[in-house]
Homo-oligomer: A and B are copies of this chain.
C-alpha cells in the first residue's frame, strides 16, 4: 500500500483534485509538480503526452468510477431503490456540491471539443442508465428520457448553485426535488 515509489495510478486522483481546484488551464505543470510532490520528469515519464494525457487519464478514471458505482446499479436495481441510492452516493462523491464534476466543468468552454470523446459518453451513459431504470419502472420511453435529463440537470446545476452560493443544502435540495416528482413508492429520503 504505502509504496515508497510513485505510481501512475497514485497520481491520477491527485491530478483530479488539482484540475478541480484550478481548472485545466489554471493548473500549470509547475503547480501540478508542486501539489503532487512529483518532479516534472516523473510527470512526463508517466504521462508522455503532457497535460492533455493527464486530464484524459483523469477523465477515464472518473468514467470508470461512475460506470461501477452509478450506472451499473441503475440498470440492476428497481427505481425506488436505485434512485435514492444514487442520490446518497452523489452527495458523498460531490461533497454536497462543493466538489465539482470535472466532466461538466470541461464541457463549458473550448475544452469540450478537446475532450469530446470523454465528455459526451459520460453524460450519454448516465442519461441512458437513468432512462433504462425509469422505463423498467413502467414509464413511457419519452417520459423516462425527459425525467432522466431533468435529474441529470439537477445534479450538475446543484453543484453550480452550491459552489456559487456556499449553500451546502442546495445540491441535495435540487437533486431530491427532481426525483421526488417521480412519485416513487418510497419517497427518497437521503440518509445522513
The interface of chain A, by Cβ under 8 A from chain B, is: 20-23, 25-26, 100-101, 103-105, 107-112, 119-120, 122-124, 127, 146-147, 149-150, 152-161, 163-166, 170, 173-174, 177-178, 181
A174 to B150, CA, bound (A): 5
Whether A23 pairs with B25 at a CB distance below 8 angstroms is yes
A100 to B154, CA, bound (A): 16
Known: A20-B109, A108-B159, A146-B173. 4 other contacts (CB 8 A): A23-B111, A149-B170, A150-B178, A152-B161
A189 to B25, CA, bound (A): 40
Whether B164 pairs with A157 at a CB distance below 8 angstroms is no
A42 to B105, CA, bound (A): 32
Whether B165 pairs with A120 at a CB distance below 8 angstroms is yes
- Known A-B contacts A150-B174, A174-B149; the reply to A164 vs B107 at CB < 8 A is yes
Whether B164 pairs with A158 at a CB distance below 8 angstroms is no
CB distance from A51 to the nearest CB of B (A): 13
Residues of B within 8 A of A112 (CB): 163-164
Q: Chain B residue with minimal CB distance to A120?
A: B165
Provide 19 A-B residue pairs closer than 8 Å at the C-beta atoms, listed in order of the A residue: A21-B109, A21-B110, A22-B109, A23-B25, A23-B108, A26-B109, A100-B108, A101-B160, A107-B164, A108-B159, A127-B165, A146-B177, A150-B154, A152-B161, A153-B154, A153-B160, A153-B161, A160-B160, A178-B178
